[in-house]
C-alpha cells in the first residue's frame, strides 16, 4: 500500500557516517545491551537543579577569576588527563546518561546513544588536540635571539549551550574552554539543566577544581545576560539562535574594559540540491534522515530540498512513501525514528507554521503518529513550495520544504547563498566535477555529497558555519581550541652581556 520504495535500512547507519565509532541504535536492537539501555530509561530520574540567583553571579565570577591562575598553571598534560578521565567515566555510565537524556530532553533513545558517544569523543579529541597543538614552542629567528610562542587560557569563559544537544554541545564547549586553561561559568539551556549538572559533577570527580567550573542554571535573559555582562568575562562561547548570538555580541561590545571574543554557532536554513543524475533511493534516504531525525531539531537539519524537475515526481512520491514508514512517537523505544519536540512552546510555534503552510503549499506526505507521551509530537511533514522565498524560516522541527528547479545548478547554489546562512549543504549528483564545483561555490561550512547532512562526527567532520550561522572556528576540528587561548611570544636577546642563560633555561 506504500507508494514508492520501502525505505532501505539507513545506508550510512543511524547518524551520519558515525557508525564506525558510535554504537548505533540499529545495531543495538539485536544485542543484549538493548535491555540495559531500556532499563536505564525506566530508572532515570530527572533531578531539579536550583537556579543560580542573579545576585550571586558576581561572587561566582570572582571565584572563577580566583581559580584561573592555578588552573591555567596546571600542566597541559594534567588538564588533558582530566578530560580523558571524564571520557572514561562517561563511557562507563553511558546507559545512565542516555536514560537521563531521554527523560529530560525527550530525544529518542537512538539519538541519545549517539549523543553520549559524541560527548565522549569531544573529551578525548580536545585532550589530544590540546597536547598536540597548545604546547609552547620555539619559533625561528635571527642568531642572537630566542623566540617562543606560548598559548594559555584567557580567563573566565562563559559557555551557553542549547537544549537540542544538552550533553554533547554542553560538554564540547566546557571541556574545550577548560583544557585551554580557562575557568568556566557553564550555563545550560533552561529546559535541560539536569544532564548538565550531572556532567559537571562528573568533571569535578575527574579532577576539575571546584573553583575552575561552576554550573549557572537559569533563564537566558536573566542569568545568561548577567554572566555575559559581568566585567570579569574573558570570552563567551554560545550555541543557539542567530538573534541571541547578535544580542550577546552587542552586549559584549557595549561593555567597558577589554575586548571580549565571542565564539558563536547558530542556526541554518539548510538546503540539499539534487540534480537529474542523482540516485533517487539514496536521495530519499538522505532526505528522511536529514529532515526528520531528532524531530528536525538540529541546526544542521535539512529544511529545503531543491530537486531537479527531471526526477522530481519520482523523488516526491518516494518521500511520501517513506514518511508513511517512519515510526513516530515514544522516545524511550529504540525502534522510534522521531520523537516529540522539546516542549509545549516549541510545539505551538511549529504547529502554527505548519497550519500556515497548509494554506499556501501542497502537502506531499505526513507520517502517522504513534504513542505521544508528552503531547508534543509533531507529525513529520513535507510540503511542496513554489519558490525558495516561500519557505518558513521560523521552523525548528520535522518540516521539510521541497522546491523544483530546472536549468542551472549553479544558480540554485547562488540562491541558497543569498539566504545568508552557511551551515550545512547536501549535494546529490553522479557527476563528481559538478559536486566539487558547487561545493566550492557554496558559502557553507559543512557540505555533504551523496549522503545525509546531519551527525557530524568529532574530528572527522569539524562542524560549524559562516555568515548568519556563526563565527567559527569549527567544533570538533583542529582549530577550535585556539580561539579559547591567549597567545604570547617571548623574545630574548641571547647575545646580551650578562646572564641570559638562566632566563633561557626557563623558556624551554
Which residue lies nearer to ligand UN1 by CB, 290 or 429?
Answer: 290
Residue 440 C-beta: closest distance to ligand UN1, Å: 21
Residue 85 C-beta: closest distance to ligand UN1, Å: 24
Q: Any catalytic annotation for residue 265?
A: yes
> Would you count residue 357 as binding ligand UN1 (CB under 6 A)?
no
Which residue lies nearer to ligand UN1 by CB, 315 or 454?
Answer: 454
Which residue lies nearer to ligand UN1 by CB, 127 or 454?
Answer: 454
Looking at the DSSP bridge assignments, the partners of residue 383 are 363, 401
109, with CB counted inside 10 A (0-12, 13-18, 19+), is: buried
Contact mark string toward ligand UN1, 228..247, x via CB under 6 A: -----------x--------
Q: Which of 38, 265, 384, 415 is catalytic?
A: 265
Residue 464 C-beta: closest distance to ligand UN1, Å: 9
Burial state string for 49-72 with b = 16 or more CB within 10 A and e = fewer than 16: beebeeeebeebbebbbebbeebb
How many Cα atoms occupy the beta-carbon half-sphere of 307 within 13 Å? 25
118, with CB counted inside 10 A (0-12, 13-18, 19+), is: buried
Residues 267-306 that bind ligand UN1 (CB under 6 A): 298-300
Residue 198 grid coordinates: 550531572
> Would you count residue 165 as binding ligand UN1 (CB under 6 A)?
yes
Burial state string for 181-205 with b = 16 or more CB within 10 A and e = fewer than 16: bbbbbbbbbbbbbbbbbbbbebbbe
Q: With beta carbons less than 8 A apart as the criterion, state whether 216 and 253 touch.
A: no
Phi and psi torsions of 294, nearest 5°: 60, 25
Which residue lies nearer to ligand UN1 by CB, 109 or 206?
Answer: 109
The helix/strand/coil state of 51 is coil
Residue 291 C-beta: closest distance to ligand UN1, Å: 12
Q: Please give the Cα distance from 269 to 256 (Å, whole number).
A: 35
Which residue lies nearer to ligand UN1 by CB, 114 or 428?
Answer: 114
Size of site (CB under 6 A) for ligand UN1: 11
Residue 459 C-beta: closest distance to ligand UN1, Å: 12
Q: Which of 123, 159, 299, 306 is catalytic?
A: 299
Contact mark string toward ligand UN1, 456..495, x via CB under 6 A: x------x--------------------------------
> Would you count residue 164 as binding ligand UN1 (CB under 6 A)?
yes
CA triple 205-211-215, angle to 5 deg: 75
Q: Of the candidates 13, 99, 162, 220, which one interacts with ligand UN1 according to CB under 6 A?
A: 162
Which residue lies nearer to ligand UN1 by CB, 64 or 304?
Answer: 304
Give the N- to C-terminal CA distance of the chain in Å, as an integer: 73
Residue 342 C-beta: closest distance to ligand UN1, Å: 12
> Would you count residue 454 as binding ligand UN1 (CB under 6 A)?
yes
Chain Cα centroid distance, residue 221:
22
Chain contacts with ligand UN1 (rule: CB under 6 A)? 162, 164-165, 239, 298-300, 454-456, 463
Annotated catalytic sites, by residue? 265, 299
Amino acid at each position: 500500500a506504500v507508494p514508492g520504495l520501502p525505505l532501505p535500512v539507513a545506508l550510512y547507519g543511524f547518524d551520519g557516517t558515525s557508525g564506525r565509532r558510535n554504537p548505533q541504535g540499529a545495531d543495538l536492537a539485536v544485542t543484549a545491551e538493548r535491555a540495559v539501555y531500556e532499563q536505564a530509561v525506566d530508572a532515570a530520574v530527572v533531578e531539579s537543579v536550583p537556579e543560580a540567583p542573579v545576585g550571586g553571579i558576581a561572587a561566582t565570577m570572582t571565584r572563577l577569576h580566583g581559580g584561573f591562575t592555578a588552573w591555567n598553571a596546571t600542566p597541559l598534560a594534567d588538564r588533558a588527563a582530566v578530560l580523558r578521565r571524564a571520557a572514561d567515566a562517561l563511557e562507563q555510565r553511558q546507559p545512565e546518561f542516555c536514560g537521563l537524556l531521554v527523560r529530560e530532553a525527550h530525544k529518542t533513545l537512538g539519538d541519545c546513544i549517539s549523543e553520549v558517544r559524541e560527548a565522549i569523543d569531544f573529551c578525548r579529541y580536545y585532550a589530544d588536540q590540546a597536547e598536540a597543538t597548545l604546547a609552547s614552542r620555539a619559533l625561528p629567528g635571527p642568531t642572537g635571539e630566542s623566540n617562543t610562542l606560548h598559548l594559555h587560557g584567557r580567563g573566565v569563559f562563559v559557555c551557553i549551550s542549547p537544549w537540542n544537544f544538552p550533553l554533547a554541545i554542553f560538554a564540547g564547549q566546557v571541556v574545550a574552554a577548560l583544557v585551554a586553561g580557562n575557568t568556566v561559568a557553564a550555563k545550560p539551556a533552561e529546559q535541560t539543566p539536569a544532564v548538565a549538572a550531572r556532567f559537571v559533577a562528573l568533571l569535578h570527580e575527574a579532577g576539575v577544581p571546584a573553583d575552575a567550573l561552576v554550573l549557572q542554571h537559569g533563564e537566558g535573559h536573566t542569568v545568561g545576560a548577567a554572566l555575559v555582562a559581568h566585567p570579569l568575562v574573558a570570552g563567551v562561547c554560545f550555541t543557539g539562535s542567530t538573534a541571541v548570538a547578535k544580542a550577546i555580541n552587542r552586549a559584549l561590545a557595549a561593555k567597558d574594559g577589554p575586548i571580549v571574543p565571542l565564539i558563536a554557532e547558530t542556526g541554518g536554513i539548510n538546503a540539499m540540491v539534487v540534480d537529474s543524475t542523482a540516485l533517487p533511493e539514496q536521495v530519499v534516504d538522505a532526505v528522511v534522515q536529514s529532515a526528520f531525525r531528532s524531530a528536525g531539531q538540529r541546526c544542521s537539519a535539512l529544511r529545503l530540498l531543491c530537486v531537479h524537475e527531471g526526477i522530481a515526481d519520482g523523488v516526491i512520491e518516494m518521500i511520501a512513501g517513506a514518511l508513511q514508514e517512519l515510526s513516530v512517537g515514544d522516545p524511550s523505544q529504540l525502534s522510534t525514528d522521531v520523537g516529540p519536540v522539546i516542549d509545549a512552546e516549541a510545539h505551538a510555534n511549529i504547529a502554527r507554521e505548519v497550519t500556515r503552510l497548509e494554506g499556501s503549499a501542497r502537502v506531499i506526505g505526513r507520517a502517522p503518529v504513534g504513542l505521544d507521551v508528552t503531547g508534543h509530537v509533531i507529525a513529520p511533514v513535507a510540503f511542496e513550495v513554489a519558490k525558495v522565498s516561500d519557505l518558513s524560516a521560523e521552523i525548528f522541527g520535522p518540516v521539510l520544504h521541497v522546491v523544483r528547479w530546472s536549468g542551472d545548478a549553479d544558480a540554485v547554489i547562488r540562491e541558497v547563498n543569498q539566504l545568508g546562512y552557511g551551515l550545512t549543504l547536501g549535494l546529490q549528483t553522479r557527476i563528481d566535477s559538478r559536486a566539487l564545483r558547487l561545493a566550492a561555490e557554496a558559502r557553507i561550512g559543512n557540505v555533504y555529497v551523496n549522503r545525509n547532512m546531519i551527525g557530524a562526527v568529532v574530528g572527522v567532520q569539524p562542524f560549524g558555519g559562516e555568515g548568519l550561522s556563526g563565527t567559527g572556528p569549527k567544533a570538533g576540528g583542529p582549530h577550535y581550541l585556539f580561539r579559547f587561548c591567549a597567545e604570547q611570544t617571548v623574545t630574548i636577546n641571547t647575545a646580551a652581556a650578562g646572564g641570559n642563560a638562566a632566563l633561557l633555561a626557563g623558556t624551554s
